[in-house]
Amino acid sequence: MMLRCVLAMLLITSPVIAQSDFGFHGFIDSYHAAQIDDSADLLSSWTRLRLDGRWHGDDSAGFASVDLEHNGVLDDYDELNLREVYFDYFSAGWDLRVGKQIIIWGETEGLQILDAVSPWDYREFLARDFDDLRKGVEAVRWRRLQDDWNLELIVLPDFEPASFAPPGSPWAFPSALPSPGPAPIEPEDSLENAEYGARLSYYLGWGDLSFVALRTWTDEPVPTYTASGTSAPVLGFEYQRQSIYGGGLSVPTGDFVFRGEVAVYTGSTFETLSATGIERSDHDQLKWVAGVDWSLDSGLTVALQLTDSQVLDHRPGLPLPEHNRMLTLSIEKDFFRETLRVSSFSFVGLEEGDTFTRLSFDYALSDSTRVLAGVDVFTGDEGSFGAFSENDQLWVKFKYSF
């Protein structure tokens, strides 16, 4: 990993000697969170240096982003992590990007409906900023650029799964791999297993419209069973091939912006054990989200989203419920000439009644120095957020940009 990062920086910075058209910036941030109980254990503690380098030529450009992090709680975090490194080539009406990159296709905040290209890093669940959750993927991206429409084509030759906290971590997700348990089977690197997709976007006078088609793999491994003679079936985990077809819409009206996405996920195979043996069934999934943003002249912004993930032709015994409805609520307000931002983001699971809320205060000491503090609260006895009901935490973060 370290050699790849060093080589990446050399590749990006090498044209600087000849062209002297180079931009360099970054930041140092330090984040520490303590559990709200008598133990006051540290649930997160890390300090990070991020370096971003960018150069521009007449018809090309390059970018590299590297994190150097020390994590005092999670040992599996890379000390040196290459977030992105890619080259751009520009021509009349189109451009090409090759390398490790973060690809964002959705318009929602904190939800993955059409935004299914870059997997997420859940090693600290949702306790990190949304910008830090997405992982870079090795990809080739070609875009056709027009005044009122864009066409984007992508190919991902190497598979990159989502990341989860290991067993024993305070952020170990209950539905992740059991401990001990078999390692998930990843697809082999081959042309046949490559991921690819297309996105067509229209920029109309009344709003934006997009259509997405993606041939990909599941970010999370799913359980499978293998018959073993007279013995009990053997549990295993593998990533499944799936296709995603959908579209998105964004319409601004006065102080409001109405947004929506809908997608059909095909290729999901569920395996369960019954008295007669292994039962397999294929079920498509329908996922959608509808939201509205409201911005006031006072600096107050409110955003509401309602989403559902439905398993079509659902039957009893499947590992997923027929519906997984969720509500998100975001509130932001600036004070003192925009030097202080108070914000809150909440997830509410409508099936299990579990919630996760992050309340934060972001104060600018100067143009380059910020101090942030907040509280994370989990509620519920079941569900994704209820699993972390003991992880309520107070946190503080310092950030210096240069």
Bigger pLDDT: 176 or 204? 204
- pLDDT-derived band at 17, boundaries 50, 70, 90: very low
Lowest-pLDDT range, 96-100, 315-319, 320-324?
A: 315-319
Which pLDDT score is estimated for 365? 97
Which pLDDT score is estimated for 6? 46
Which pLDDT score is estimated for 181? 62
- pLDDT-derived band at 272, boundaries 50, 70, 90: confident
- pLDDT-derived band at 20, boundaries 50, 70, 90: low
Provide, rounded to the nearest whole percent, the portion of the chain with pLDDT above 70.
Answer: 92
Lowest-pLDDT range, 119-133, 175-189, 260-274?
A: 175-189
- pLDDT-derived band at 279, boundaries 50, 70, 90: confident
Lowest-pLDDT range, 7-16, 44-53, 85-94, 196-205?
A: 7-16
pTM for the whole thing? Answer: 0.89
- pLDDT-derived band at 325, boundaries 50, 70, 90: very high
Please count the CA atoms within 13 angstroms of the CA of 41 that sit on its side-chain side: 9
Q: Say whether pLDDT at 399 is over 70.
A: yes
Which pLDDT score is estimated for 73? 85
| Mean pLDDT calculated for residue range 346-359 | 96
| Mean pLDDT calculated for residue range 60-73 | 93
Q: Say whether pLDDT at 226 is over 90.
A: no
Q: Say whether pLDDT at 176 is over 50.
A: no
Q: Mean of the per-residue pLDDT values for the chain?
A: 90
